[in-house]
Amino acid sequence: MRYKGRMKKTNDPDAVKITAKVVAFLETCGLTEKQIFEFSGLNRKTVSRIMKQYNKAPNLNTLAPLVRVAGYRLELVPLDPRVDKFRSSRLFPPPPIVLEK
């Protein structure tokens, strides 16, 4: 069943930084908003809100197509152990990430 209310938006600084970078990449591509929403398959209104930074932290399903239109891909990278504040709390280290080729 779908959620039919307003979802609480995150103010996660990492999510906001990623979104700002994706918007910057899209702006340097020279594509119009119309081309971006056509190529990404996203709703015109959604793309407009992200590009104007009204939606500063869209979910991953929204962000991934925009990243592809910009010519990039999302990838998980392990944190630097010096800044990983949860490292000592984990019982086991995170598993290595294997990406399909």
* Per-residue pLDDT, 58: 86
Q: Are the C-beta atoms of 60 and 16 separated by less than 8 Å?
A: no
Please give the class, per CATH, of domain 13-69: mainly alpha
* Per-residue pLDDT, 55: 84
| Per-domain residue ranges of the chain | 13-69
Q: What is the pLDDT of residues 45-74, one digit of tens each?
A: 999 999 998 888 888 899 999 999 988 888
3-class secondary structure per residue, 18-54: HHHHHHHHHHHHCCCHHHHHHHHCCCHHHHHHHHCCC
State the CB neighbour count (10 A cutoff) for residue 69. 22
Model pTM score:
0.68
* Per-residue pLDDT, 57: 84
